[in-house]
Structure 1
């Protein structure tokens, strides 16, 4: 406490000194003649700075020293820091924002997408098959052909791929291709036979083996049914995973991400992240969540590992309650409109309750994937039971900030339960602009009133941490910002049932990607805004996202990314 008071007092004194300096006229001549040289590490001048600090919302200059912001104000006040060995960068009016925080992603998946067979952005089944064949022909020694990123909703064929499709291009080696959302995969006949999957194979809890009209497997495995095949695929080595994590972070800082909340991890991956951090090769911050199972139990038993520099922390557990909308795995109260199913629920509230109660007692955050309205309701049921069973006197911390990830379709009464239980809806705007092309087929128009309710949640007082769910989606903060404010696809298309009234303002979209993301990780006192004394994360764009027309957002570029006071990307 005393240390915090001293730090606050020092910060206030520095702020007062800078304010007095600006108040004296702030002219170049006055500053140059009277100011004492206090060289910063980096000084940014002539910028359009959006601080996301309500008390000082805009600025034109920033000084950074020892990984923190030591000055935020006008150009005149920054001159005392632009001396000695300071790296002074003239931004020439470019726009500056707090570093963007990815509130829900999968970092090793992002990296493996970069280094392996990447099927994202493919626009037809025929194009995907050609890409797989080209990759297989170029890698004749690989025992398995493994890829990720395909998504049939944009294909003219309008159907899932089948094992027969894959057999035509790779008949002699097993093939395993995961849909972009990670909730379904397609295999060829070689892989199917290796896994001993037949038309009589039992569907696992929370999964489904799709069959054709003759009762034979199509090759499509939904959610937990993928477990039939995954153990057969040669596991990546630790070196492979480490290389993927590094590649993922290096890719992200080029886009403006400075923080990443990793939704589902393991202690092995966390230790590899620690190695990268020690080697100076972890390009951005990671807030890690252990996956449900042994890793989660160990976190509850051992307690959180909180980095005082907020670079690599683990204090969260990720649970997956249902599947995805596209593969009809999301769990709904009423059946799908285009198939006789209500989706797939992986657990009951009672099954996850012991872990939730243990997490409350250990001070561990919980985040749970829930997409369908039934899944969201049951997660809220489980959270409420845990809160009732573990009174505040038995909790390690009272400010728990439990989350529901995606919260894509929520009944009106359950929106109010989010607010009453103080549960954070962690949402990814790009899901809406992709899903809404087929969501009407899946759910019908009426249920789309309950879908992607950003505006409804905010108006009721919710804080929404925003992200992309990369590599499920592309993982570009420009897309997330655009989707949140436009509620249109990237071609400017909207349709009946897209509910443009649920869009958010640009100021809210910026908060979703900055301070609200920091809040979701208990880091709002150190990150998420450009303020004196906070850790120096920021991104500079060559166009101002806050004022340019919507259709120009995707033509803007991140030209400078700073993480922890270090330049990680400069164009």
Structure 2
């Protein structure tokens, strides 16, 4: 008793005499003994933080957090682990990822033979009912030794009596078997639809490969999934995302029904990450223009953007180029035109709706900039609902040098996915040639010019792992450390820039930089905790970092690695 009294007395005595004891400060969650990267230029590093009511109430050093290490506060000693502002994927397809988890996933097949084996194995484990379709996604031929697309005959050998359609990883091409082609009326005489291509062999017969809008000839025949199936897909995707450390997903296009399903998950307490939602072109976009943005005081679900498409993908030769492909006669596909897109752009400016347009090829990027500029000139700032609309170009993979400064001058945000550079590493040179590779995936050049670049994965096109996005941005190599000729390593980013691609810059792209994107007192408490510090470990160890904890609005939504709980000293 005497020793406890003396210890208390010693704590109260100062050079000025007795001082009142420091009261226990209430907090919902306290993290300390950590390496914290705030992405706040005024105070870039910290050791501890405290959260209450979904916001940061303390960010600083170990001495300053002591008043919160008490009472019934949830206190976690991170043992030196690394803390970052919650990671955000700025271009993601939630439902597609969910169905990738739920159905036939062909990612990772390193050869055509292996892909066909995966299809066969899936059918044995999941027999397709009579009249049912076999669908799947994720194959990509870029590293296959066969160096070609699959054919309908190869799919027929495995699936002869059921219609089948297997989508390439980029979502811009797919392979159909003969029965699916027959049901769609696709034969040697079938013309290419506008904005699409039916690939044919030397004899003029369809190979089964359908590119961009040609896919709709088959996909419109596939029965729509049930509402319950869609909801399960969203749940699987959001659980996966939280486990990987994502705290917000910016969903690049969707329907109102999907938006309602996400709201149901939120009401049920099962939506683990924030969603910034863009409505797809067509009826969903028209409704958003008519009703206006959906804002949320909690910032869990916000819908204020429209997703448009200009061209296809580079791998399937659908990206629109200024000159012919280096390995193919043709300049790609345009999926829209001036007269269709301009009324949407003009109305969006007057209604305060953000526009995000898919553009991969140099021609597509130039056209979108032209159209945006025309819309801005037509609707001057004083006539807009949002004076600086922060319109985006999604992917922006191949930007001609003459057009790069235009992004800055027009205030257009290039939303770029670092993993595309390593994903395309094995075929981009063939498609573009060495000269055009000089201005492909030009992250560093754009940042030097003053661009804000929100990063993301485009999952399920790519894996959808924040570590891969960070690694790709800072190394510009594939996961085996390979870097092809003409891959311009000078375009790789610093780790500070790569971190901003996953944190602050996505917040800016979503008009949310005042409430999230950095660790600052008063901001929403979204955090990603990793077991290793990706800001300092050798690049070969970035992928070995594991998510220890994901926090959204002060709630721990995933803690795959158990974090030590510190018992407050006054309870020992």
TM-score, with structure 1 as normaliser: 0.94
The reply to whether residue 207 of structure 1 matches residue 186 of structure 2 is: no
SS where residue 186 of structure 1 aligns?
strand
Q: Deviations over 1:224-263 (max 9, x none)?
A: 0001011111111111111111110100111110000000
Q: Select 1:382's aligned residue among 371, 384, 391.
A: 371
After TM superposition, the structure 1 = structure 2 runs for residues 11-410 of structure 1, keeping only pairs within 5 Å, are 34-142=21-129, 143-410=132-399
3-state SS, counterpart of residue 210 of structure 1: strand
Q: Please state whether the residue corresponding to 2:438 is helix, strand or coil.
A: helix
Q: Deviations over 1:303-342 (max 9, x none)?
A: 0011111110000000010000000000001000111110
CA distance in structure 2 between the partners assigned to 1:525 and 1:268 by the alignment = 30
- 1:483 equivalent to 2:475? Answer no
CA drift of 1:350 comes to 2.8
How many residues align? The count is 544
Q: Which whole-Å CA distance do the structure 2 matches of 1:351 and 1:410 have between them?
A: 23
Task: Report how far residue 270 of structure 1 moved.
Answer: 0.5
Return the alpha-carbon distance in structure 2 between the equivalents of residues 137 and 301 of structure 1.
48
Contact 1:40 1:82 in 2 (8 A): no
Q: Which moved more, 1:79-88 or 1:322-331?
A: 79-88
1:146 counterpart SS class = strand
1:107-156 Cα shifts (integer Å, max 9, x gaps): 00011101111111111111111111111122224411110000000111
User: Match for residue 420 of structure 2?
Assistant: 431
Q: Is the partner of 1:399 in helix, strand or coil?
A: coil
C-alpha deviations, 1:58-79, integer Å up to 9, x for none? Answer: 1010111111111101112112
What is the DSSP-based 3-state SS (H/G/I as helix, E as strand, rest coil) of the residue aligned with 2:253? strand
SS of corresponding position for 1:154:
coil
Give the whole-Å Cα distance in 2 for the aligned partners of 1:294 and 1:261. Answer: 20
1:553 maps to what in 2? 542
Contact 1:39 / 1:82 at 8 angstroms: preserved in 2? no
Could you say what secondary structure the match of 2:220 adopts?
A: helix
Distance across 2 between alignment mates of 1:308 and 1:92: 34
Equivalent residues of 2:92, 2:249 under 8 A apart: yes
Question: What is the root-mean-square deviation in Å for CA atoms of aligned residues?
Answer: 1.5
**Secondary structure at 1:102's aligned position in 2?**
strand
8 Å contact 1:147–1:177 — kept in the other structure?
yes
- Residue 569 of structure 2 corresponds to none
**Would you say the 8 A contact 2:171–2:461 is kept in 1?**
yes
Partner Cα distance (1:113, 1:204) in 2: 28
Q: Does 1:503 align with 2:510?
A: no
Partner of 1:20: none
Q: Which segments of 5 or more consecutive residues in structure 1 lack a partner in the other structure?
A: 1-23
Counterpart for residue 12 of structure 1: none
Unmatched runs of 5 consecutive residues or more in structure 2:
1-10, 562-572
CA distance in 1: counterparts of 2:22 and 2:261, whole angstroms: 46
The range that moved more, 454-463 or 141-150, is: 141-150
| Contact kept? 1:349, 1:379, Cα under 8 Å | no
Post-superposition Cα deviations, 1:18-51, rounded to whole Å, max 9, x if no partner, equal xxxxxx99x9xx9x97321122111001000000
SS of 2:244 mapped into structure 1 = coil
Q: Is the 8 A contact 1:349 1:381 kept in 2?
A: no
Show CA shifts across 1:412-441 (max 9, x none): 111011111010000000000111211111
Report the alpha carbon displacement of residue 394 of structure 1 after superposing the two structures with TM: 1.4
Q: Would the aligned equivalents of 1:120 and 1:180 in 2 still touch at CA under 8 Å? A: yes
C-alpha offsets along residues 153-203 of structure 1, whole Å, 9 cap, x if unaligned?
011111101100101111111111000000000011111111111011111
Report if aligned partners of 2:381, 2:388 keep a CA contact under 8 Å in 1: no
Q: Take 1:110 and 1:525, find their aligned partners in 2: how far apart are those partners?
A: 29
CA apart distance, 1:495:
2.1
* Matched position secondary structure for 1:445: helix
* Distance in 1 of aligned mates of 2:190 and 2:20: 82
- 1:5 matched residue in structure 2: none
SS of corresponding position for 1:318: strand
Partner Cα separation in structure 1 for residue 366 and residue 57 of structure 2: 45
